Amino acid sequence: MTTAEDEFVEFAEAAAPRLRRTAFLLCGDWHTAEDLAQTTLVKMFASWRRIRRRDAVNAYAMRTLLNTYLAGSRKKRPGEVLTARLPDPPSEVPSPELRITVLEALATLSPKSRAVVVLRYWDDLSIEQTAALLGCTPGNVKSQSARALDKLRLLLDDAAGEPSPARLAAANQMTPGRTGHE
Amino acid sequence: MNETSLRAQLELAVSAEPPLGLLVGNSLRAGRKHRRRRRTAGAASLSAAAIVLLGAVPALTTGPGHQAGRSRSAAGRHPAAASTAYVATSKGTVVPIRLATNTPGAPIRVPEGMPGPFITKSAASADGRTVYEVGDTSGGATVTSIDTATNTAARPITIKGAYGPLAFMLAPDGKTAYLSSPGGLFQVSLATSTARRVTGCSWSGCQAIALTPNGRALYVISGDKSVIVVRTATNTVLSRIKLPANSPGSPLNIGITPNGKTAYVVDAVAGAKPGTNSVVPINLATNTPLPPIKIWAPGLADGLVIAPGGRTAYVLSSRGVTAIDTATNQAEATISLPEAAGNAYYMVLAPDGKTLYVLTPRGIVPIRTASGTVLPTIEVPHLTTFTVIAISPDSRRIYVGAAISHRASGRRWPKIVTAGVVPVNTATRTAGRFINLGGDPFSIAFGQ
């Protein structure tokens, strides 16, 4: 192993858990997350000499992970959801016994919205950093964050009990067949 | 649910992660093969332009951190008479709204802020003559002061290293302010428009802040389940208070009683059974934690407000409010929210101390503090954007974030057309007409 390779291994060992966790929240299962993280590291190794500078390297890793994930999500057939748990995103009001998890709720967002949520609220990136990584404007990130949080709120029940009737009713208002609030 | 409870749920989802196994080794082997193939094929892996772009992206934080945004009591912090609400929006503007007429004035340009539940991203000076707005830019967080007499903004103070600002608080003397962020705790001198880093707070950054009433000490929540105490006169760290080992959650919020004797730290656990969330009192004379007070209201506990007289601390959970007697540090009552209201988002306490207002998907639930009586829910039109709720210093007006949405046929979710605030008259408990601000409201401060 050369010195550059030693350096890469050191970086990869430190970055791998973090990349895999972010990938997991993006795609919903550990196998795919592992694949995404590995693909990211492989691509980085290929260009390692050019990207060794410390402060760019983490951003590069995140950008590569996101591009790999988003490219993969575009290839999916319409209706196919990137999670091992949920066969379909909830298109109807969930039955009272079903307790929706955060992964299932994330699955109802578009890949880009999901990426915004994970970057902002898991990786704790600022709006500017998120916008730079996703190649969109900060304004776009801000509105996507707010919308995504609204949707997640309606789906998630963080009480220990069953979903409340009001939450189901509110979620009902956002399903096909209903108009927005007046 | 807000950012912090979302964060808690994300952590729960990730907690069952399998071991890494051969991920790094496999990457190295595959990488070598890929590199050999590439060299022979002659393809470039990345264009020079892409690398230059990446070089411009600011360094990422190395670990996850909490965003602790919470409802905070307005009591004692706002000027006695305020004529204008200053609403910071997602368009990088602050819109002044005259309380008397509910009409928006010309927008004031400031560096773009960020959404977030009340972690006070704006604050007014005690005399109401200046409103301070927090922004988040690639150069760092910014603090911009607005002169309320002329509604003009001064040149922003940029705080390098303070990315993703979380909490912002004015010191009682009005001369300095404190800002917490993943990059650390910063002190801002409002007189000289300069900032300095006071301390870091563990790998996940500095979170919610509380100041003692005399301004001499600052308590900041650190991501490693401790509270760091800073002497503000010298900007030195006095001590680090570790939360008791039997508190199972994450500290989300902190408040200090007006007599400066006790701090309360909300220790939150997502998806736990009632009695697991707790509030840890801290004796500020000795800076030691006292036995945690169990919270029995279901759901994640996160909101915290302390009554103006200091006798009661109120904690908001998804399904109820817990009243804590600060003299005995016992939970004296758990007030359940109406079933129909849904899970609570935020809570504000009227500055006159008489009424708590809890924002839920169905509207605003008023609770009389003296009796614990829950009044009928105030229905609010267009209540689809839960980004902000704030109450005026005279306790008579509430503004809550709202949006007009339209669901086109064939689409699953409505599309937001425009956003703004809805005014609520607290005396009649009725909502007024939607005020269009052209962007999501992020925070509200009341000035002259």
Backbone angles phi, psi at A156, to 5 degrees: -95, 140
User: Which stretch of A72-81, B22-31, B142-151, B159-168 has the lowest confidence by average pLDDT?
Assistant: A72-81
Contact between B393 and B356 under an 8 Å Cβ cutoff? The reply is: no
At residue A60 the predicted structure's pLDDT band, cuts being 50, 70 and 90, is confident
Of B13, B26, B51, the CB nearest to A103: B13
Q: Choose from B52, B136, B202, B343 for mutation: most chain A CBs within 10 A.
A: B343
pLDDT at A93 over 50: no
Backbone angles phi, psi at B265, to 5 degrees: -115, 125
Q: Retrieve residue A57's tokens.
A: 């390297």
CA B395 to chain centroid, in Å, comes to 21
Among A residues 2-61, those touching chain B with beta carbons less than 8 Å apart: 5, 8-9, 12-13, 16-18, 20-21, 24-25, 30, 34, 37-38, 41-47, 50-51, 53-56, 58-60
Mean pLDDT of all residues belonging to chain A: 72
Among B residues 75-94, those touching chain A with beta carbons less than 8 Å apart: 90-92
Total residues found in chain B within this entry: 448
Q: What is the average per-residue pLDDT within A80-98? A: 36
pLDDT at B426 over 80: yes
pLDDT in tens, B179-194: 998 788 999 999 999 9
State the fold for domain A86-182: Arc Repressor Mutant, subunit A (1.10.10)
Q: Retrieve residue A176's tokens.
A: 């096909």
pLDDT value, residue B46: 31
Q: What is the average per-residue pLDDT within B268-276? A: 81
Q: Retrieve residue B134's tokens.
A: 């927090």
Q: What residue ranges define each of the domains in chain B, with the CATH number in brackets?
A: 3-12+67-378 (2.130.10.10)
Between CA A165 and CA A124 the distance in angstroms is 33
Look up tokens 């508190």; give the residue: B247
pLDDT at A90 over 90: no
At residue A167 the predicted structure's pLDDT band, cuts being 50, 70 and 90, is very low
pLDDT value, residue B79: 52
Contact B62/A58, CB-based, under 8 Å?
yes
pLDDT value, residue A50: 74
> Which chain B residues are Cβ-neighbours of A58 within 8 angstroms?
59-60, 62
Q: Where are the alpha helices (DSSP H) in A76-107?
A: 102-107
> Which chain B residues are Cβ-neighbours of A171 within 8 angstroms?
none
Among B residues 44-63, those touching chain A with beta carbons less than 8 Å apart: 45-46, 51, 53-63
Contact B13/A25, CB-based, under 8 Å?
yes
Q: Encode B397-415: b = buried (16+ Cβ within 10 Å), e = exposed.
A: bbbbbbbbbebeeeeebbe
Q: What is the average per-residue pLDDT within B416-421? A: 83
Most confident residue range from A73-77, A102-106, B137-141, B187-191: B187-191
Between CA A22 and CA B129 the distance in angstroms is 45
User: Which stretch of B126-130, B259-263, B380-384, B399-403 has the lowest confidence by average pLDDT?
Assistant: B380-384
Of B28, B381, B104, nearest to A4 by C-alpha is B28
For residue A181, the chain B residue with the least C-alpha distance is B382
pLDDT value, residue B168: 92
State the fold for domain A1-75: Rna Polymerase Sigma Factor; Chain: A (1.10.1740)
Q: Retrieve residue A149's tokens.
A: 């949080």
Of B292, B233, B299, B296, nearest to B265 by C-alpha is B292
Domain ranges of chain A: 1-75, 86-182
Q: Is residue A172 helix, strand or coil?
A: helix
User: Which stretch of A66-80, A89-103, B263-277 has the lowest confidence by average pLDDT?
Assistant: A89-103
Alpha carbon of B241: minimum distance to chain A alpha carbons (Å): 25
Q: Retrieve residue B304's tokens.
A: 């915290």
Backbone angles phi, psi at B436, to 5 degrees: -80, 120
> Which chain B residues are Cβ-neighbours of A144 within 8 angstroms?
none
Mean pLDDT of all residues belonging to chain B: 83
pLDDT value, residue B318: 86
pLDDT value, residue B145: 96
For residue A55, the chain B residue with the least C-alpha distance is B59
Between CA B445 and CA B96 the distance in angstroms is 10
